[in-house]
Amino acid sequence: MQDAKLIAKSHDAHRSVIALNDQVTVGGDELLIIGGPCSVESLEQMETIADRLGHQSIQALRGGVYKPRTSPYAFQGVGESGLAILDRVRRRYQLPVITEVMAIHQIEAIVAHADVLQVGSRNMQNFDLLKALGEIDRPVVLKRGLAATVQEFVMAAEYIASHGNTHVILCERGIRSFDNYTRNVLDLGAVVALKQLTHLPVIADPSHAAGKRELVASLARAAIAAGADGIMVECHPVPDESISDARQTLSLEAMADLVNSLRPIAAAVGRTMPMSQVAAQPAIA
Ligand code: PEP
Ligand code: MN
């Protein structure tokens, strides 16, 4: 990987630990588990997830409010009202929240209401967006493009770093193949390669790779065994009622079971899993 300067690994032990907020990090020995719905739908939905999974099973909450949908007629996300929901939930439960940024003009509002900005697969090579994210002081989860090579993925991360923000978390979310049994193919070879090539944390998203909920837990375990620094998984209080990506979305019980099933795998690969339980704060009026 000749061209990457800032994110290239200089020696074996070179790895960046990135803080999501003042309590949660990724890239150290402790694994990061991110859970939440594909789309933010309501305050009740997000509070139920935080209440039932927060801190014990998941350390960060995901949820899209601006949704990149294949069809312009499909639900496009609740928009700015969803940012207020994320802000409220992160304060009440002290959980960092992650949400997708689709355009430069959304950055300011997202920074004001969320902790981590996600660049979706479809925007991995939106270079103006990457440059703009290089100018902020917030962690960015960069998802691999649907058909991006490892080299293109690394250079997309280098764009953000070269504009001043080295807090980039790489996310392998599956790539296109000929086979439509799974939505995408989770490329664990890329997870291993990215850990060797860069010092950045690498997480895996088995939900968008699998496209089917019954495949998600096994792929999550495989990703941790392969050396991923964490996982991001879609879950919902009533998965079949998810407005987007219902077929790949886990119930909260299945999500908790998945996280428990990671414990022996984590131990086998020398990683730890957070166990802390922090009580919810009283609701903010
Ligand atoms: C998502 O995380 O909800 C999403 C749209 O993912 P991707 O960009 O990987 O398709
Ligand atoms: Mn989704």
DSSP 3-state helix, strand, coil percentages of the chain (rounded to 5)?
40, 15, 45
Distance CA 11, CA 196 (A): 9
CA of 234 to the centre of ligand 2 (A): 7
Please answer whether residues 217 and 258 qualify as being in contact, where contact means their C-beta atoms are separated by less than 8 angstroms.
yes
Please answer whether residues 266 and 31 qualify as being in contact, where contact means their C-beta atoms are separated by less than 8 angstroms.
yes
The identity of residue 266, as a single letter, is A
Distance CA 163, CA 141 (A): 16
Low-confidence ranges of the chain (pLDDT < 50): 276-280, 285
The radius of gyration of the chain from alpha carbons, rounded to an integer in Å, stands at: 17
Distance CA 28, CA 13 (A): 11
Please answer whether residues 184 and 209 qualify as being in contact, where contact means their C-beta atoms are separated by less than 8 angstroms.
yes
pLDDT at 283: 53
Ramachandran angles phi, psi of 117, nearest 5°: -100, 135
Name the region of 139 (left: φ>0; alpha: ψ -120 to 50; beta: rest). Answer: beta
Instruction: Tell me the pTM.
Output: 0.96
CA of 12 to the centre of ligand 2 (A): 34
67 Cα nearest atom in ligand 1:
5
143 Cα nearest atom in ligand 1:
9
Q: If you count DSSP H runs as helices and E runs as strands, how many of each does the chain have, helices first?
A: 9, 10
pLDDT at 279: 44
pLDDT at 277: 40
244 Cα nearest atom in ligand 1:
3
CATH homologous superfamily of 23-268 equals: Aldolase class I (3.20.20.70)
Distance CA 284, CA 92 (A): 7
Please answer whether residues 55 and 277 qualify as being in contact, where contact means their C-beta atoms are separated by less than 8 angstroms.
yes
pLDDT at 49: 98
Q: Where are the alpha helices (DSSP H) in the chain?
A: 43-53, 80-93, 107-113, 127-134, 150-162, 188-197, 206-210, 213-225, 252-268
Q: Is 63 in the pocket of ligand 1 (CB under 6 A)?
A: no
pLDDT at 274: 85
Written in H, E and C, the secondary structure of 202-253 is: EEECHHHHHCCHHHHHHHHHHHHHCCCCEEEEEECCCHHHCCCCHHHCECHH
CA of 17 to the centre of ligand 2 (A): 26
Q: How far is CA 272 from the centre of its chain?
A: 19
Q: Is 209 in the pocket of ligand 1 (CB under 6 A)?
A: no
Ramachandran angles phi, psi of 106, nearest 5°: -85, -15
Dihedral sign (CA 89, 93, 94, 96): negative
Distance CA 143, CA 124 (A): 7
